[in-house]
Structure 1
Amino acid sequence: MMHFVRIFRLASLALGLLLATTSPTALAAWDIQQLMDSLAQNRTSHASFVEKKTIAMLERPVESSGELFYTAPDHLEKRTLKPKPESMVIDGADLLIERGRQKHRLQLQAYPELAAFIDSIRGTLAGDRQALESNYQLSLEGTAQRWTLQLLPKGDKMLAVVQRIRITGAHDQVRSIEITQADGDSSLMSIEKLVTP
């Protein structure tokens, strides 16, 4: 019994020291709105990415890398450099995909599930909680220094495509985007912010 009392006292002392040395700001609850407000401060960003896709039919993950460009509120560009050059530009409701000499242009309104998926990324980058909550149930774990935002699709049509999206970051920077599809395939994109001169 004395052993437990001693442990309790040590734990209480440690907690007291922690509370005494931690600022009130650090103790404030980190919530979804604070994260969205922080992300919304980024009007433009430029980053490198490495994406690993795990596909059931393939023995090994497929890896690609390149650059990402974002301009608030709704311009997102993904330039894949390896293994093959490819470009995907989303501007408002327009999606343009270029592979070599082939170009494909889509209107996102005609593909609501694709639009909802794209809005999960753009909505996060823009700090647009309303856009995210229109298609996803949101949950946040961690602290401002290391957070994980999980998006679970609300509608059956989206659930038939995407099981969940996990986005991690620090402060106002997205560090990774992990997508688990309904069929078990998945992708993990690691993102590193590039400093623009």
Structure 2
Amino acid sequence: MKALLRICMVCVCVSFAGIASAQAITATALQHLLQGAPQRDARFTETRESPWLQAPVEASGTMTSTAAALEKRVEHPRRETWRIMPDRMELVTADGARKEFRFDQVPAIAALANATRHVMAGDLQALQKDFRVTLNGDEREWTVQLKPRDPEVTRYLKQLELQGSRGRLQVIIIEESRGDRTTTRLAYE
């Protein structure tokens, strides 16, 4: 009787394990979800925490994603616009001053900028070139952890965590190697 009970319990556990793994999100499924719900325009709120800051720094604005670039317009606490293109990132301040960062000169910024651009475009295959990707959750709620492959990048960037629901990226958490943490929350228009 006990042996039969154990066999039944094992069968039930294996059945539940099969159901759980069948529902777990895969990279292909997540890519289809993200590409099926294009994330063109979003409002964002961002909180930056650092051991060197007395209090967290808050920022807010809008993000727009196109095939060629990702544009982040900060409205608060100061106006500035960041444009992320395949080979560079550009900053335009409120007074019109421009500063450009070429990715071939700053690999850590390149990895971070391209990760954000690829996620907004739903291109997980491109992410796997630069990061070790770990997926958790299911289609309703998922988390993607990205750890840089390049040792040069790991000097600055510890990991990225992406959280979402269905085809929408909702939270981006950036953990830097020196202890800084930036959490960006997205709300779509």
Q: Which band: TM-score by shorter chain?
A: 0.7 to 0.9
In the alignment, which residue of structure 1 is the partner of 2:99?
A: 104
- The correspondence for 2:47, drawn from 52, 55, 58, is 52
- Partners of 1:167 and 1:91 lie apart in 2 by 20
Q: Is the partner of 1:110 in helix, strand or coil?
A: coil
RMSD value, Cα: 2.5
Q: How far does the alpha carbon of each residue in 1:76-134 deviate from its partner, in whole angstroms, 9 at most, with x for none?
A: 00000011111101233232201122211233233222111111111112222332111
**Contact persistence 2:24–2:137 (CA under 8 A):** no
In the alignment, which residue of structure 2 is the partner of 1:174?
A: 169
Q: Is the partner of 1:64 in helix, strand or coil?
A: strand
- Partners of 2:87 and 2:104 lie apart in 1 by 7
**Contact persistence 2:107–2:152 (CA under 8 A):** no
Q: How far does the alpha carbon of each residue in 1:16-55 deviate from its partner, in whole angstroms, 9 at most, with x for none?
A: 9xx9xxxx9x954421111012212344510000000001
- The correspondence for 1:61, drawn from 53, 56, 63, is 56
Aligned length: 177
Which sections of structure 1, spanning at least 5 residues, go unmatched? none
- The correspondence for 1:77, drawn from 71, 95, 110, is 71
- Partners of 2:149 and 2:36 lie apart in 1 by 27
Q: Which runs of 4+ in 1 moved over 6 A?
A: none
- Partners of 1:170 and 1:158 lie apart in 2 by 28
In the alignment, which residue of structure 1 is the partner of 2:152?
A: 157
For residue 53 of structure 2, what is the amino acid of its counterpart? L
- The correspondence for 2:187, drawn from 163, 178, 192, is 192
1:119 and 2:114 are equivalent in the alignment: yes
Q: Is the partner of 1:109 in helix, strand or coil?
A: coil
TM-score after normalising by structure 1: 0.81
Q: Is the partner of 1:30 in helix, strand or coil?
A: coil
Which sections of structure 2, spanning at least 5 residues, go unmatched? none
**Contact persistence 1:46–1:70 (CA under 8 A):** yes
TM-score after normalising by structure 2: 0.84
Q: Is the partner of 2:40 in helix, strand or coil?
A: strand
Identity of aligned residues (%): 24
